[in-house]
Structure 1
Amino acid sequence: MIHKEGISFLVYTLVIILLLLIFSFLLLSRLICIFLSIFFVILYLFFIFFFRNPKRNFYENYEKDHNQDIVISPADGKILEIKKIFENEFLKKNCICISIFMSPFDVHVNRFPVSGKIIYVKYYYGKYAIAWLPKASSNNEHTTIVVETNKGKKILFRQIAGFLARRIILYAKKNSLVKKGDEFGFIKFGSRVDVFLPLNSVILVKKGEKVVGGETKISIIPL
């Protein structure tokens, strides 16, 4: 399935590619036209691949039975870093931050890591440094979302644009009730998502591990 954010992009791109190929066949040699055709076909197939939106399901029976909040990965990608850090925008306390890097080959749909009520949403304009650099979390274009779970835990997470990313899409609205695994946004072409967890959280992933958005359990928050 193609994500809705990619439909208009794919249509416009296809029109531009077809026009370029028509002009190339009129003005250039046949050999060059063949190479250009192959290049554009591969490029367009990559764009289709990039905007894919696979269905994801997470079943919450476990946390209901064990009276815990399970945090799932908000994005596909690789665990870039797990560290203790002071969150100074909203939580104003030390947290465990899990950073997930999304390469251009990962699914770029972002999903809520927990269920609950959105109590804070903020968008920031910024630069486009490489997403894995530490300064990217504050200097790059980014968003901050905080969800308060049904058990009263406040979980903050950020979308951070990378070097190739040029647009963050955010669907989250303050005071909305949200369900774990549902979409809250999309980032185009390479980016990062950070999740800030309480210090007593049990971390279920390690640095360098691949995670799947909407499915992989990254943490358990005891009551």
Structure 2
Amino acid sequence: MAGELKDNRGRGEAQWRWPSIHPEGRKFGLIGVALALLVLLWLDWEIIGWPLLGLAIFTFAFFRDPERVVPQGSNLIVSPADGLVSLIVQVPPPPELQGDDENGRGLGVEPVTRVSIFMSVFDVHINRAPVAGTVRRVVYIPGRFLNADLDKASEENERQHLLIEKADGQAIGFTQIAGLVARRIIPFVKPGDLVASGQRIGLIRFGSRVDVYLPAGTDSKVLLGQKVIAGETVLAEIGRQSLIEGVSL
């Protein structure tokens, strides 16, 4: 993934800019604008037209796709999603990511730390690769549309499992989970693709969750209740274990 190198000693340039709108959302926003203008200018129904226009603006904002500065490090796992860390638990990886197959190694069956990130409708919904490597699996599972904040959403909701194998052979798995409003998970990658850490790999429409399965012997660097940013927040450092505590104020 091409990009400008920046560091903690001032190298590179930084300036504020309006975030772009992902193409997947432009059509929905434009449809909303067209309907609002039709109601306002032709039917003269302001009580309906203005809320429609507001909904169209919200749709554009929902599909915003800001640039991110991705920390570089071979052992770093960055957040694949914007949102709230809603669960940190020890669980076995999902069956679709466990065993080895012709494409490479799986995650095994032993419990590992799962970090769940809940995305509200106000968060950016573009998901990013937590590590650099080769995409080995993309497994879509149809399902229900329970509240994505619930633990059982990992096993019952519409979801998509992804497995990325790093250059050293370490496999990192994560799952995109649809929520109450979400009805479609859209992948940008397929098995065999090479991805950079923080590269855009897909999106989920309208409220959802992403689960990340950390390798054995690795603890989360984020805390329950913490806000994380896709492609920027470091979730974990592979092989590092330590208790980190925080106080909610």
TM-score between the two structures when normalised by the length of structure 2: 0.80
> Which residue, out of 48, 51, 63, partners 1:39?
51
Q: Which residue does the alignment assign to 2:35?
A: 16
In the alignment, residue 141 of structure 2 is paired with which amino acid?
A: Y
Q: CA deviation at 1:23?
A: 5.4
Secondary structure of residue in 1 paired with 2:151: coil
Contact 2:161–2:176, Cα closer than 8 Å, also in 1: yes
Partners of 1:69 and 1:151 within 8 A in 2: no
- Where does the alignment leave 5 or more consecutive residues of structure 2 unmatched? 1-19, 98-106, 241-249
Aligned to 1:186: 203
Instruction: Kindly state the Cα deviation for residue 128 of structure 1 after the two structures are TM-superposed.
Output: 0.8
- Residues 1-150 of structure 1 correspond to what in structure 2 (within 5 A)? 1-22=20-41, 24-25=43-44, 33-60=45-72, 63=73, 68-89=74-95, 90=97, 91=107, 92-150=109-167
DSSP 3-state at the match of 1:93:
coil
What amino acid is the match of 2:80? P
User: For residue 34 of structure 2, what is the amino acid of its counterpart?
Assistant: V
Please state how far the C-alpha of 1:177 moved relative to its aligned partner.
Answer: 1.2
SS in 1 for 2:49: helix
Per the alignment, in what secondary structure is the counterpart of residue 39 of structure 1? Answer: helix
**Partners of 2:180 and 2:123 in 1: how far apart?**
15
CA RMSD of aligned residues (A): 1.6
- In 2, distance between residues paired with 1:151 and 1:206? 28
Q: CA deviation at 1:138?
A: 1.7
Give the TM-score normalised by structure 1. 0.89
- Tell me if structure 1 keeps the 8 A contact 2:40–2:46: no
Residue type of the partner of 2:33?
L
The separation in 1 between residues aligned to 2:78 and 2:157, in whole angstroms, is 24
For residues 133-212 of structure 1, what are the structure 2 equivalents within 5 Å? Answer: 133-212=150-229
Residues 89-119 of structure 1, C-alpha deviations (whole Å, 9 max, x = no match): 1222211100000000000000000001111
Q: Which has the higher helix share?
A: 1
Q: Indicate the SS of the match to 2:189.
A: coil
Once the two structures are TM-superposed, the CA of residue 24 in structure 1 deviates from its matched residue by 3.9
Runs of 5+ consecutive residues of structure 1 not aligned to the other structure: 26-32
Structure 1, 208-217 or 2-11: larger mean CA deviation: 2-11
Identity %: 39
Q: 2:39, 2:46 within 8 Å by CA — same for their partners in 1? A: no
Say how many residue pairs are matched. Answer: 210
Once residues 52 and 203 of structure 1 are traced to their aligned partners in structure 2, the CA distance between those partners, rounded to angstroms, is 28
Match of 2:236 in 1: 219
Counterpart secondary structure, 1:49:
helix
Preserved CA contact (<8 Å) 2:78 2:131: yes
Q: What per-residue deviation string (whole Å, max 9, x for no partner) do you get for residues 153-175 of structure 1?
A: 11100000000101110112111
Q: Which amino acid aligns with 1:79?
A: V
CA separation in 2, counterparts of 1:58 and 1:203?
18
Cα distance in 2 between the residues matched to 1:146 and 1:216: 20
